[in-house]
């Protein structure tokens, strides 16, 4: 069995065994089992715990070796000290992929690190790959699979093209409302202590994965620089990779050493590697997933000339500050566009296009504006601010967005504001249902466009 296909077992197992605690509903083996049933995973699930014969009518095996069927993936959530003996059973049973959810390894210091090394050595000898320890494992939405050890509050994932790799449980389904993400997700992987399977293994797998359109990576350290470079150089031509580097300071690097037992590595060095390889850096977990939305819903722009549509001049000015900071330029409209805009109202014939002047006069030119910008070769991308009462007054917003879904050749991102959060949420949903990404703040909407521009350039030069 090749390494490639062992990594795929973590996401696409036909049969799994859960080894460990069955004492609680909200955490542990029962939570995993119930999550999978609720989500509709249709592989075989075996429970292993010597203290039970059965639980809720489900058979429980005393040991992995008592199971007759083949097991693609074992998930271990026992106390750390008995993990080596379970790994021995995995080897006996011929299991090639193991997730160790338990904490108490390199994450608690030298003694734990020793135990972790022992486990890794045993596994390596037999070609067993380990994800973790100290991980909530994976999500794969295409087969309704997740190994998170916490009871989920929802019943179904929303499928999409975003795949996420994290060095934290925060990327697990217990920590993020993935079911509410309009553009959906494909795969998620929490690397935990990274004793064996690392970011490069998963990037390589996701690079080949047809469902994955964009890869986002939260990382504290790169385990193997050469491997990372080799894998990323191959994948980046096909798919964008966004990256959030944690551990930028001496203080956070110390905390990382203390919670995973790993060195965070020098940030400047990481920053340079990312830049050289064409990864796009983001500043926080929220932006990491939010910016990915633009990649799965919008075309890549030809250049970085931005057009802004706003109902308020003050917002336009703030937007420009963020745009310039992110590397975008303010588009200079063609004479043809200027003429079209003057015809609507002279006060809007400039960039930003301030629709505040038109709507208070009963003029609603959204369709004409979008048409003009789509035809203007001086415009590469568009940012549009929506004020909720205007969305209600001006039916052309809705109609235009529907009409342009397949006609708009340029990426567009949105920000919605208004006087009531419920109404804002509703308008946001409507726009996203129509296929356009909406952001919670102007900066992220602008950073998303800037990220598209950066990748567009990377793709043509790599």
Residues in 94-123 that interact with a copy of itself by CB under 8 A: 103, 107-108
Report if residue 417 touches a copy of itself, rule: CB under 8 A. Answer: yes
Closer residue to a copy of itself, CB minimum distance, 105 or 404? 105
Pick between residue 72 and residue 443 the one whose CB is nearest to a copy of itself.
Answer: 443
Placement of tokens 């609507």 in the chain: 344
Among 1, 26, 66, 208, binds a copy of itself (CB under 8 A): 26
Cα dihedral sign, 99-102-108-112: negative
Which position among 167, 200, 298, 326 is part of the footprint of a copy of itself (CB under 8 A)?
167
Q: What distance in Å separates the CA atoms of residue 364 and residue 351, rounded to the nearest whole number?
A: 17
What's the first-to-final CA gap in the chain, in angstroms? 32
Spatial CA neighbour of 92 closest among 125, 118, 64: 64
Give yes or no for residue 443 binding a copy of itself (CB under 8 A). Answer: yes
Beta carbon of residue 293, minimum distance to a copy of itself (angstroms, whole number): 16
Interface pick for a copy of itself out of 347, 363, 434, 458 (rule CB under 8 A): 347
Q: Which of 290, 295, 303, 289 is nearest to 438 (CA)?
A: 290
Measured from the CB atom, the residue of 12 and 287 that comes closer to a copy of itself is: 287
The residue among 36 and 67 lying less far from a copy of itself, judged by its C-beta, is: 36
Q: Residue from 185, 285, 294, 452 that binds a copy of itself (CB under 8 A)?
A: 285
Q: Quick check: 387 binds a copy of itself (CB under 8 A)?
A: yes
Is residue 160 close enough to count as binding a copy of itself by CB under 8 A? no
- Would you say 273 and 222 are in contact if contact means Cβ atoms under 8 Å apart? yes
169 interacts with a copy of itself by CB under 8 A? yes
Q: Does residue 156 interact with a copy of itself by CB under 8 A?
A: no
Q: Does 84 bind a copy of itself (CB under 8 A)?
A: no
Q: How far apart are the C-alpha atoms of 184 and 194, rounded to whole Å?
A: 26
Footprint (CB under 8 A) of a copy of itself, residues 48-77:
none
338 binds a copy of itself (CB under 8 A): no
Return the residue of 196, 201, 354, 380 that touches a copy of itself, per CB under 8 A: 354
Q: Which is nearer to a copy of itself, 58 or 312 (CB)?
A: 312
| The only residue of 313, 375, 399, 462 in contact with a copy of itself, by rule CB under 8 A | 313
What would the two tokens of residue 275 be? 């830049």
**Of the listed pieces 82-90, 335-343, 373-381, 435-443, which binds a copy of itself according to CB under 8 A?**
435-443
414 binds a copy of itself (CB under 8 A): no
**Based on CB atoms, which residue is closest to a copy of itself, 332 or 459?**
332
How many residues are given for the chain?
462
Task: To the nearest 10°, report the CA torsion of 203, 207, 212, 218.
Answer: 20
CB of 128 to a copy of itself, least distance (A): 25
Q: Which of 54, 110, 125, 180 binds a copy of itself (CB under 8 A)?
A: 180
Could you tell me whether strands 214-219 and 381-387 are parallel, antiparallel, or unpaired per DSSP bridges?
unpaired
- Closest distance of CB 294 from a copy of itself, Å: 19
Which residue, 162, 122, 119, 123, is CA-closest to 141? 162
- The upper half-sphere exposure of residue 352, i.e. CA atoms within 13 Å in the direction of its Cβ, equals 22
Closest C-alpha among 453, 399, 393, 406 to residue 431: 399
Instruction: Decide: is 320 part of the binding site for a copy of itself (CB under 8 A).
Output: yes
- The interface region with a copy of itself, picked from 66-74, 280-288, 401-409, 431-439 by CB under 8 A, is 280-288
CB 149 within 8 A of CB 77: yes
User: Contact region for a copy of itself (CB under 8 A) — 90-98, 118-126, 162-170, 226-234?
Assistant: 162-170
| Neighbouring residues of 219: CB distance < 8 A, sequence distance ≥ 6 | 165, 167, 199, 243, 244, 245, 246, 270
Which residues from 237-256 bind a copy of itself, rule CB under 8 A? 246-249, 251-252, 255-256
| Cβ 148 to a copy of itself shortest distance, Å | 9
The rounded distance, in Å, linking the Cα atoms of 276 and 364 is 46
Span from 68-76, 169-177, 230-238, 270-278 in contact with a copy of itself (CB under 8 A): 169-177
Give the contacts of 415 (CB within 8 A, at least 6 positions apart). Answer: 383, 384, 385, 386, 438, 439, 440, 441, 442, 445
For residue 266, give both structure tokens.
Answer: 């020098």
Under the binding rule (CB under 8 A), the answer on residue 421 touching a copy of itself is yes
Residue 173 engages a copy of itself in binding (rule: CB under 8 A): yes
**17 φ, ψ to 5°?**
-125, 135
Write phi, then psi, for 386 (nearest 5 degrees). -115, 130
- Stretch in the footprint of a copy of itself (CB under 8 A) among 39-47, 139-147, 160-168, 234-242: 160-168
Nearest to 429 by CA among 393, 383, 398: 398
Q: Do 26 and 151 touch, CB atoms closer than 8 A?
A: yes
């Amino acid at each position: 069995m090749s390494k490639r296909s062992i990594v795929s077992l973590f996401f696409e197992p036909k049969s799994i065994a859960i080894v460990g605690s069955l004492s609680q509903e909200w955490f542990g083996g029962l939570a995993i089992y119930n999550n999978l049933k609720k989500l509709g995973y249709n592989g075989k699930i075996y429970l292993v715990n010597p203290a039970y014969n059965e639980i809720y009518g489900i058979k429980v095996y005393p040991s992995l070796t008592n199971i007759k069927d083949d097991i693609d993936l074992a998930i271990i959530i026992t106390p750390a000290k008995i993990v080596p003996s379970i790994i021995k059973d995995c080897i006996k049973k011929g299991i090639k992929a193991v997730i160790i959810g338990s904490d108490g390894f390199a994450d608690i210091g030298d003694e734990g690190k020793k135990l972790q090394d022992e486990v890794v050595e045993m596994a390596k000898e037999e070609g067993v790959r380990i994800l973790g320890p100290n991980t909530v494992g994976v999500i794969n939405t295409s087969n309704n699979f997740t190994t998170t050890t916490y009871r989920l509050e929802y019943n179904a994932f929303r499928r999409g093209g975003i795949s996420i790799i994290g060095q934290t449980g925060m990327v697990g389904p217990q920590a993020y409302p993935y079911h509410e993400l309009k553009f959906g997700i494909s795969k998620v992987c929490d690397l935990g202590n990274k004793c064996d399977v690392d970011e490069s293994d998963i990037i390589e797998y996701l690079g080949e994965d047809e469902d994955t359109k964009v890869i986002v990576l939260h990382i504290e350290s790169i385990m193997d620089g050469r491997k990372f470079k080799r894998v990323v150089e191959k994948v980046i031509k096909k798919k964008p990779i966004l990256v959030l580097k944690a551990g930028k300071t001496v203080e956070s690097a110390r905390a990382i050493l203390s919670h995973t037992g790993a060195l965070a590595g020098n940030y400047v060095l990481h920053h340079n590697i990312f830049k050289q390889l064409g990864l796009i850096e983001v500043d926080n977990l929220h932006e990491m997933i939010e910016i990915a939305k633009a990649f799965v819903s919008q075309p890549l722009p030809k250049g970085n000339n931005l057009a802004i549509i706003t109902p308020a001049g003050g917002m336009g000015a703030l937007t420009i500050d963020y745009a310039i900071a992110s590397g975008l330029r303010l588009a200079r409209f063609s004479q043809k566009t200027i003429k079209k805009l003057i015809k609507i109202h002279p006060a809007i014939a400039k960039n930003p296009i301030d629709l505040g002047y038109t709507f208070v006069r009963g003029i609603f030119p959204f369709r004409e504006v979008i048409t003009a910008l789509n035809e203007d070769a001086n415009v590469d991308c568009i940012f549009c601010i929506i004020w909720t009462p205007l969305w209600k007054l001006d039916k052309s917003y809705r109609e235009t967005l529907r009409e342009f879904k397949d006609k708009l050749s340029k990426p567009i991102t949105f920000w919605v504001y208004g006087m009531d959060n419920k109404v804002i949420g509703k308008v946001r949903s409507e726009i996203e249902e129509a296929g356009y990404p909406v952001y919670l703040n102007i900066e992220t909407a602008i950073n998303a466009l800037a990220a598209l521009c950066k990748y567009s350039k990377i793709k043509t030069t790599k």
